[in-house]
Structure 1
Amino acid sequence: MCADTPATSDAVDYKDTLNLPKTEFPMRAGLPQREPGWLARWEEIGVYDRLRDKAKDGSRKPFTLHDGPPYANGNLHIGHALNKILKDMVVRSQQMMGRDARYIPGWDCHGLPIEWKIEEAYRAKGQDKDKVDVVDFRQECRRFAEGWIDVQREEFKRLGVTGTWDKPYLTMDYHSERVITEEFMKFLMNGALYQGSKPVMWSPVEKTALAEAEVEYHDRQTDAVWVPFAIVSGATGETEGAKVVIWTTTPWTLPQNRAICFGPDISYGLYEITGTPAESWAKTGDRYLIADKLAPEALAAMRLEPTMHRRLRDVTAGELAALTCAHPLRGAEGAQGEWDYDVPLFPGDHVTDDAGTGFVHTAPSHGDDDFEIGRKHGLAMTYNILDDSSFRPDLPFFAGEQIIKPNGKPGDANKVVIDKLVSLGKLLARKRITISDAHSWRSKAPVIRLNRPQWFAAIDKPLGDGMDQYGETIRTRALTSIDQLVEWTPKTGRNRLYSMIEARPDWVLSRQRAWGVPLTCFIKKGAQPTDPDFLLRDPAVNARILDAFEAEGADAWYKPGAKARFLGNEYDPEEWEQVFDILDVWFDSGSTHAFVLRDREDGSEDGIADLYLEGTDQHRGWFHSSMLQACGTIGRAPYRGVLTHGFTLDEKGMKMSKSIGNTVAPQEVIDQYGADILRLWVAQSDYTVDLRIGPEILKGVADSYRRLRNTMRFLLGSLGDVTAADRVDPADMPELERWVLHRLSELDEVVRKGYAAYDFQGVFQALFNFATTDLSAFYFDIRKDALYCDGDTPRRRAARTVLEMLFERLTTWLAPVLVFTMEEVWLDRHPGDASSVHLQDFPETPASWRDAALAAKWADIRRVRRVVTAALEVQRRDKVIGASLEAAPLVQIADPALAATIKGVGMDDLCITSALSVMEGEPQDDAFRLDDPGIGVVFHKAEGEKCQRCWKILPDVGSHGHAGVCGRCAEALG
């Protein structure tokens, strides 16, 4: 085989007679410096708009990936990059498969994170936020968001992401605020909206309710306590005078206790104390009801040895249900009768015997299960805890004590409750333990479950809105949508969202903040939430509000005279109270389908997105809220497909943290390697699980990129001056070329199916393996000799025809991933002011290229070739030869059919030897074997002289009229 730059004899230099590759495509990519130029070029020639123009004749079916809006409050992190790159690969691949793939980027602009930043600035200046005019404050929030949108837009564009960057959607646009309000009004008018008092996630630091998606769980230490509740009625026999022992990790909730729950299927026993050490708070003769599985741990916590107690008998669920206890604080001096009520026992399916005592103290004001038990049995709600998490000022013993301090640190509420129990002799044990507890992901402070009057969307109420195809309630519509209307990638996403929606409570819509879309409703003064006229439901009032919001934005709600303006002449403003809570920002983002997919000209034809694509955390976030919101307003899910990706971790699999110093900033990767390397990292990773990234991983990605770049460089160099006249019909090509076309046909199917299934890893691995194994290490390696050394032969023309077909497919197939590099490759062969690979579709691949029989034959040929090349590598290692062209091996094959096949092809060219002979028969004992004992190779050196043009060692060198060359080279020289 001819080398890339063969040496020549002293007499004649044949280098200039070779067809060596010619290309200006550089080995070194220089992506960090060159990528911005391509971005500017795409903007200049209007690639995105030109793609939309291609669809104006209606020939292309629309595809809409609806962008889950990132939050406008900081520089991008690597998770942002992963998300936006995945979205871009979806959009580009769908476009190149013949769709009209639209992408409208957007931003989430309202809410507490931005408001918190403005408040921090106020605190730093010593200003009181509450003394600032609310409209002025909201304008500061708007300006803050606008600044970060501009920053993030440029950072996203630098990743090579295409879309309507000049016309994104913003939840704070006036039209958006109008539509969010209109969507809320649908809940108002169809009866889903109601005001209730039930436990919500409450941030004492931020003084607002939070959604589940706005909290994160961290370990923290707390006091677990074992508290006896004396039985006052319903006991029989030995249970008379006994005590029910509860266990809790939130002692501050005990003053709000109203009941005790037990597990109807749990085994309970009556335990008697027969002796106590001095340090125990238990007393000899006391009898305690405890779950049998948990009794040893509970009694040990009371510092009792196993010899100090005995089990008297079983206690049945029926006996437990008949019991009534006294609150531990009942009758305490100074209690002023606050706790002089009975504490009944109820069965509860939420009770387990995994930890504690098997008895759950129940405070309806501070837990979802507790609330449901309270509602079922008519228990009283308590209002002992204020917004700042302090006990109400008139509560005996505990007035003013806080659960969480304003700085987010624990207050003394737990301590004072425990101390009081100790002083009254109503504590059996305490223990410091670590629990996983909810924290606000903004302030990082703990949150509590607290009943507060809030606005809710009822998800189990029949709406009667005529959109009952998938159910009458929000929950049934959502569950039906999940199973019947949505394709999940990966499939596990279905189960996750289904279980969340199946078990979730009503949606808390209200927040006690200022920056957002207000709950535009009025309540009748003096009316109760259960009264039919409690809420004003008037289409004319709603219309006035919507018109104002379209023109002025949601600030109109806060301007002087707004109440009278919106109520009009029909209602007396003195009789109505204007609500100033703002909507949960998840309602904002959940409504985006209406003002993006429905209202925009470049939205979706039916208002439904083909795909929502976000991280797995959005099962409880955007996927979830969008589903609930749309099921309440359009009766179904707003999407046909949902794709979820994992989180980004460091190389060791640890969560990234600035304090640890293991973060990877997208801009740092771009500055060092270029955005295409970041995109390639995404394509090489399994995004359905958590993805690792770090310096060593990026080095590996860069190495893969270099190998692929070299493949493309060889293609460009070898195509050079090829023209239409050089092309050969596939039917006239040698088998090796037809085998390549067969592989292209297979790959076309893999690529299209892979991109359609969003399997970018599968697509890239198939293309990378093809490029590096089938092409660089096999086809290119073999055909270099013909490309460099042949004259204008049919073989060389066929090879160049195949290279052109390879070029067209590889550049377009890889363009959704390597957007910059494939543009560079494309322009090398298609220069022009308006040319771009991103204006192309994947080329059609003829079905006639598929040839299974030929593929099977060449699988056998490659199997034999592997044995030959392995045998030659041994000779090279042992320094018997320096290059494979010095060899003329004998291949011995036991299988007659295989031997006949191998004899029928030019194995010397395929194995890059100067000669090669094939013999049918069992390989001799000293033949080299690999994994098939029926194939052996006996090494022989090539005989003859070395051709000074192609480097083959042949007997005829020098006998064809040109000094030092073989017959083939002499013919090429003419």
Structure 2
Amino acid sequence: MSDTETKRDWRDTVFLPKTDFPMKAGLAAKEPAILAKWQAEDLYGTLRTQRAGKPRWILHDGPPYANGDIHMGHAMNKVLKDIIVRSQSLLGKDAPYVPGWDCHGLPIEWKVEEQYRAKKQNKDDAPVDQFRAECRAYAQKWVDVQRDQFKRLGVMGDWDDPYLTMKYEAEAAIAGELLKFAETGQLYRGAKPVMWSPVEKTALAEAEVEYEDITSTQIDVAFEIVEAPNAQELVGAYAVIWTTTPWTVPVNQALAYGPGVEYTIFEIKSGELEDKPHLARLGGKRLVVATALIPAFLKRIGCEWDNSDVPHEVYLGGWPFEGAVARHPMHTRGGFFAKPRPFLPGDFVTTDAGTGLVHMAPDHGEDDFLLCKAHGIDPVFAVEDNGFYRADWAWMGGQGSVIAPKLNAPEGPICTDLREVGALLAAGSMVHSYPHSWRSKAKVIFRCTPQWFIAMDRPINPPSLSREGPGVGDTLYGARNGEGFTHPNPSLEREGLSNGPTLRELALDAIEHTRFVPDKGRNRIGSMVAGRPDWVISRQRAWGVPIAIYVDPKTGRYLDDKGLNARIVEAFKAGGADVWYTMDHAALLAEFGHDANVWQPVTDILDVWFDSGSTHAFTIEARYGEGVRADLYLEGSDQHRGWFQSSLLESCGTRGRAPYDAVLTHGFALDGQGRKMSKSLGNVVDPLKVINESGADILRLWVASTDYFEDVRIGKEVLAGTSDAYRKLRNSFRYLLGALDGFAEEERVAVNEMPELERYVLHLLAKLDAELRSATDAFEFNRYARALTDFANADLSAFFFDIRKDCLYCDAPESLTRRSYRTALDILFHALVRYAAPILCFTAEEVWGTRYPDAGSVHLLEWPEVEGLWIDEGLAQNWEQLRALRLAVSAAIEPMRKAKELGSSLQARVAIGSPERPAATPSELSELFIVSDVQLETTDSTQVVVHVTDWHKCGRCWRHLPEVKEDGDLCDRCEAAVHG
């Protein structure tokens, strides 16, 4: 070999990886083109056709509200759903995804009202059909906007035919579901206190309320006792009540005491009244307060408690109040206020705070309402829908909003009037949590109004529910010789229960038979259902599905005619719920033999939670068959009291079982510091901005990488870490594509003929496959993403690729080692691109299309075929020891590299002493450690000594080998590869 030839640059003979796949992703620009390709090829429709007949798996989409651009919570929710649906499809299942929207309700109506107010118009002056049409148009506008935003996230679904609660067929189904409750006797009209928004003039569900701390006026008020048949000593004494809602005193009708509470009659010492003008009228008056609460009460009125100097009598328990009567402080106003106020025993009365005596306003409290109702005391409806007292109310009538701070203030009209009659003993401030409407942010009140309810504890009329369906039992109810019905679950059977279980029983049983992820969700929703009141389903608004029934206003009874009900549903299918406001009710009633003078159409609409709770009926069952239910519902943890619960109650009330097999809850998206995002703090992370700057796959990888069962953080630093993880994965795919350039089937080597390193890596792949399947089953995609990225970075890039790059670049194409390596890379490629596809849906498509431009979408593929026979624990144990030794060698070389004693590890000669001889030859270890030479000896402990080799460097593979006579010469292997 001539001197000229030995100095040659051999780089053109090296088999370097070749690929057009760029390292710079450019996702923001590239992803829209991929979306357009999916749209043009109808990827979703093709997948449905391809998966037809396969086991079906359904994630039912919880409907977002069609109002405004999407936020990070939306993005997180939709991406997680898409990852799960794609993973189930990858497993070979038919996993359709039908997106949907909530379109009715107050938020949309409120926005349309704002448009009227901006024009100084009153929406109530507009025809109801016109107003509803404007609401429908507003909702459709935001459905279209959000649809494009969700698609941009890479969410694949039936975007051309989503479910909308305002579609005619949906409105008909919702009305039909309500009529099922009516037919089974679960629906009733009653007057109960409900959370009411005076601003929005409608009842609110618990899920529509948020709690904030406010400062309220707390007052102590004296009620004079005028009758006490069991304790004459009480006559003339004053029962003291404490409340943080002064505005309810004008609606007081009774006083409650605790039957097990100890009370004391006492007088304030005359010395305590000096220099206290506000207490002057207490002189000689006897007060009644729970003994345990006297010190706190006296502190509020500015006195001290000295038990030895105050004349008092103690009564054990509440028996002296039986039959006792007090009079209202404003009794001189006559009428309602002149009526006696009875003392009623209340188990809810405690000595935790206050005075141990509670004033009862059945219009404005659930405990008040129930206790008064049990004693024949009815609400008086003194507060109107706008939160004002009725103009004709004898005290405070026409004074303004009942929750206005000025009305309730210590110097406001209520306290002033009570002070003037000597009944106000104390007035101060108190900070406490109070409910607000999450839409208007205004305070709500408890207000008794006629509403429609679904009973939680009324036995369900079984004949109407005896339909087939895959519930917890084979059927909801089964006829027993034409008489009575049997329960599908022994756990629901109660002695003496003849009319079927209650809705609460069915719901609680369904919860026990549902999978919750995480499992703590079971207790959360279970406790809510166990303690919840009857379901208030009516709203006093215009935009929604009307409660399509007729009622007798004299009796409150509603008309139950199945033929009429069916006609209403058909009318809704043809013209939507709007027909309720335009149809000839008298003619329809007459057609079925009913008198329009007796029966009147209800004008209330349904709570939107009933709408969304019915979506399983017009989405799952309507598309896939009666009795079919979802495999999974997935939403934020706040939906235990929202959609999860409304869907559960609706389905249990009409089908006797839950509409889902499993429920998954995720946390909320917080900023990088763990704070709630808000515009006022300026810490909102806009998902649309992230997509436009970095691409949707970065956002998708962030979602998959988080512990989303808890609240998660997102910010610049978090996204920077996600981008770094993405770059490493992308680099692994780029290497695979380049290393597999030109790979042909003729190169393929059987696994059992491969070197140990390849077989070890395939063992690791099989273990990864099992881990990813387990994570998929558990919906733990943070575990999935971590396992995938760790495998790509640690097992492949930093280990397998690093070791075998020499073989790839320099071995002859026919080399068994090189062919085995490329065969293993091909197996890895087909597995990894599939594993990544549910999370990195755009990147996986780009990777697949780069290698197979004409093979169709990667998302049509199924889970890779990974052989369980590849598992070889003995082999793996040996290689784990070798990897540990490799780390020790790298640690010994690194200081010499930093000191520039050697330029690369290929210059190192390594002497290894160890108690056990490694399961590899020195030549194999040299390749494993990427060094020039390895010498082995037996020592008591592992020792690694590194020297700089004096061997010359091959001009092609750059390895330092003994056969290379001068730097630049070829080693034996390279000589054979180049010249044959």
Q: Shorter-normalised TM-score: what interval?
A: over 0.9
SS at match of 2:240: strand
Quote the residue 1:342 is aligned against: 341
Residue 456 of structure 2 aligns with an amino acid whose one-letter code is I
Matched, 1:401 2:399: yes
SS at match of 1:317: coil
Q: Measure, in 2, the Cα distance between the counterparts of 1:503 and 1:265.
A: 24
Quote the residue 1:252 is aligned against: 247
Kindly indicate whether the alpha-carbon contact (under 8 Å) linking 1:402 and 1:411 is maintained by their aligned counterparts in 2.
no
Q: Measure, in 2, the Cα distance between the counterparts of 1:10 and 1:403.
A: 98
Quote the residue 2:571 is aligned against: 548
Deviates more, 1:45-54 or 1:583-592: 45-54
1:141 paired residue among 110, 117, 135: 135
Deviates more, 1:255-264 or 1:21-30: 255-264
Q: Measure, in 1, the Cα distance between the counterparts of 2:206 and 2:689.
A: 33
Residue 393 of structure 1 aligns with an amino acid whose one-letter code is A
Q: Measure, in 1, the Cα distance between the counterparts of 2:257 and 2:932.
A: 87
Quote the residue 2:481 is aligned against: none
SS at match of 1:969: helix
Residue 392 of structure 2 aligns with an amino acid whose one-letter code is D
Deviates more, 1:963-972 or 1:743-752: 963-972
Matched, 1:579 2:579: no
SS at match of 1:639: coil
Quote the residue 2:92 is aligned against: 98
Residue 435 of structure 1 aligns with an amino acid whose one-letter code is H
1:632-660 per-residue CA deviation (whole Å, 9 max, x = no partner) reads: 11111111111111111111111111222
Q: Measure, in 1, the Cα distance between the counterparts of 2:182 and 2:816.
A: 77
Residue 116 of structure 2 aligns with an amino acid whose one-letter code is Y
Q: CA, structure 1 residues 27+309, in 2 after alignment: closer, same or farther (shift >3 Å)?
A: farther
1:454 paired residue among 451, 456, 460: 451
Quote the residue 1:926 is aligned against: none
Quote the residue 2:716 is aligned against: 695
Deviation of 1:20 after TM superposition, in Å, equals 1.1
Matched, 1:123 2:120: no
Identical-residue share of aligned pairs (%): 47
Quote the residue 1:5 is aligned against: none
Residue 90 of structure 2 aligns with an amino acid whose one-letter code is M
1:717 paired residue among 738, 757, 769: 738
Matched, 1:822 2:849: no
Deviation of 1:413 after TM superposition, in Å, equals 5.3
Q: Measure, in 2, the Cα distance between the counterparts of 1:490 and 1:287.
A: 57
Deviation of 1:664 after TM superposition, in Å, equals 1.4
Residue 251 of structure 1 aligns with an amino acid whose one-letter code is P
Residue 935 of structure 1 aligns with an amino acid whose one-letter code is T
Quote the residue 2:483 is aligned against: none
Deviation of 1:11 after TM superposition, in Å, equals 1.6
Kindly indicate whether the alpha-carbon contact (under 8 Å) linking 1:252 and 1:403 is maintained by their aligned counterparts in 2.
no
Deviation of 1:397 after TM superposition, in Å, equals 2.5
Kindly indicate whether the alpha-carbon contact (under 8 Å) linking 2:193 and 2:446 is maintained by their aligned counterparts in 1.
yes
Kindly indicate whether the alpha-carbon contact (under 8 Å) linking 1:280 and 1:428 is maintained by their aligned counterparts in 2.
no
Q: Measure, in 2, the Cα distance between the counterparts of 1:16 and 1:48.
A: 46
1:425 paired residue among 422, 427, 434: 422
SS at match of 1:500: helix
Matched, 1:476 2:505: yes
Quote the residue 1:568 is aligned against: 591
Deviation of 1:395 after TM superposition, in Å, equals 2.0
2:622 paired residue among 591, 599, 615: 599
Residue 40 of structure 1 aligns with an amino acid whose one-letter code is A
Q: CA, structure 1 residues 80+286, in 2 after alignment: closer, same or farther (shift >3 Å)?
A: same
Deviates more, 1:394-403 or 1:121-130: 394-403
1:516 paired residue among 534, 539, 544: 544
1:660-690 per-residue CA deviation (whole Å, 9 max, x = no partner) reads: 2211111101011001111111001111111
SS at match of 2:948: coil
Quote the residue 1:972 is aligned against: 977
Residue 65 of structure 1 aligns with an amino acid whose one-letter code is L
Q: Measure, in 2, the Cα distance between the counterparts of 1:103 and 1:310.
A: 77
Q: Measure, in 1, the Cα distance between the counterparts of 2:914 and 2:880.
A: 16
Kindly indicate whether the alpha-carbon contact (under 8 Å) linking 1:330 and 1:337 is maintained by their aligned counterparts in 2.
no
1:563-598 per-residue CA deviation (whole Å, 9 max, x = no partner) reads: 423542612222221111111111111111111111
1:679-715 per-residue CA deviation (whole Å, 9 max, x = no partner) reads: 1110011111111111221111111111111111111
What value does the CA root-mean-square deviation take over the aligned residues? 2.3
Kindly indicate whether the alpha-carbon contact (under 8 Å) linking 2:257 and 2:318 is maintained by their aligned counterparts in 1.
no
Quote the residue 1:947 is aligned against: 954
Q: Measure, in 2, the Cα distance between the counterparts of 1:715 and 1:309.
A: 91
Deviation of 1:174 after TM superposition, in Å, equals 0.9
Kindly indicate whether the alpha-carbon contact (under 8 Å) linking 1:403 and 1:411 is maintained by their aligned counterparts in 2.
no
Q: Measure, in 2, the Cα distance between the counterparts of 1:972 and 1:262.
A: 100
Q: CA, structure 1 residues 263+755, in 2 after alignment: closer, same or farther (shift >3 Å)?
A: farther
**Structure 1 regions of 5+ residues with no counterpart?**
1-7, 923-933
Quote the residue 1:21 is aligned against: 17
Quote the residue 1:46 is aligned against: 42
Kindly indicate whether the alpha-carbon contact (under 8 Å) linking 1:268 and 1:316 is maintained by their aligned counterparts in 2.
yes
Structure 2 counterparts to residues 675-694 of structure 1, below 5 A: 675-694=696-715
Q: Measure, in 1, the Cα distance between the counterparts of 2:626 and 2:537.
A: 29
Residue 25 of structure 1 aligns with an amino acid whose one-letter code is F
Kindly indicate whether the alpha-carbon contact (under 8 Å) linking 2:922 and 2:933 is maintained by their aligned counterparts in 1.
no
Kindly indicate whether the alpha-carbon contact (under 8 Å) linking 2:224 and 2:329 is maintained by their aligned counterparts in 1.
no
1:306-328 per-residue CA deviation (whole Å, 9 max, x = no partner) reads: 55986857643244653735244
Deviates more, 1:94-103 or 1:787-796: 787-796
Matched, 1:170 2:170: no
Quote the residue 1:317 is aligned against: 317
1:213-261 per-residue CA deviation (whole Å, 9 max, x = no partner) reads: 1111122221011223344425659766554432211111122223344
1:213 paired residue among 207, 217, 223: 207
SS at match of 1:104: coil
Quote the residue 2:521 is aligned against: 493
Kindly indicate whether the alpha-carbon contact (under 8 Å) linking 1:192 and 1:458 is maintained by their aligned counterparts in 2.
yes
Matched, 1:875 2:878: no
Deviation of 1:293 after TM superposition, in Å, equals 5.3
1:771-796 per-residue CA deviation (whole Å, 9 max, x = no partner) reads: 11111111111111111121231111
1:649 paired residue among 635, 651, 670: 670
Kindly indicate whether the alpha-carbon contact (under 8 Å) linking 1:227 and 1:245 is maintained by their aligned counterparts in 2.
yes
Q: How many residues align?
A: 935
1:711-757 per-residue CA deviation (whole Å, 9 max, x = no partner) reads: 11111111111111111111111111111111111111111111121
Residue 365 of structure 2 aligns with an amino acid whose one-letter code is G
Q: CA, structure 1 residues 14+55, in 2 after alignment: closer, same or farther (shift >3 Å)?
A: same
2:82 paired residue among 79, 88, 101: 88
Matched, 1:791 2:789: no
Kindly indicate whether the alpha-carbon contact (under 8 Å) linking 2:258 and 2:350 is maintained by their aligned counterparts in 1.
yes
Residue 961 of structure 2 aligns with an amino acid whose one-letter code is L
**Structure 2 regions of 5+ residues with no counterpart?**
467-475, 478-487, 493-500
Quote the residue 2:496 is aligned against: none
Deviation of 1:272 after TM superposition, in Å, equals 4.9
Q: CA, structure 1 residues 620+900, in 2 after alignment: closer, same or farther (shift >3 Å)?
A: closer
Q: Measure, in 1, the Cα distance between the counterparts of 2:629 and 2:406.
A: 48
Q: Measure, in 2, the Cα distance between the counterparts of 1:9 and 1:670.
A: 54
Kindly indicate whether the alpha-carbon contact (under 8 Å) linking 2:506 and 2:656 is maintained by their aligned counterparts in 1.
yes
Structure 2 counterparts to residues 341-380 of structure 1, below 5 A: 341-348=340-347, 350-380=348-378
TM-score by length of structure 2 reads: 0.92
Kindly indicate whether the alpha-carbon contact (under 8 Å) linking 2:6 and 2:969 is maintained by their aligned counterparts in 1.
no
Kindly indicate whether the alpha-carbon contact (under 8 Å) linking 1:398 and 1:413 is maintained by their aligned counterparts in 2.
no
Matched, 1:11 2:4: no
Kindly indicate whether the alpha-carbon contact (under 8 Å) linking 1:556 and 1:562 is maintained by their aligned counterparts in 2.
no
Q: Measure, in 2, the Cα distance between the counterparts of 1:16 and 1:818.
A: 35
Q: CA, structure 1 residues 710+563, in 2 after alignment: closer, same or farther (shift >3 Å)?
A: farther
Q: CA, structure 1 residues 231+853, in 2 after alignment: closer, same or farther (shift >3 Å)?
A: farther
Residue 200 of structure 2 aligns with an amino acid whose one-letter code is E
Deviates more, 1:788-797 or 1:366-375: 366-375
Q: Measure, in 2, the Cα distance between the counterparts of 1:296 and 1:789.
A: 92
1:800 paired residue among 822, 826, 830: 822
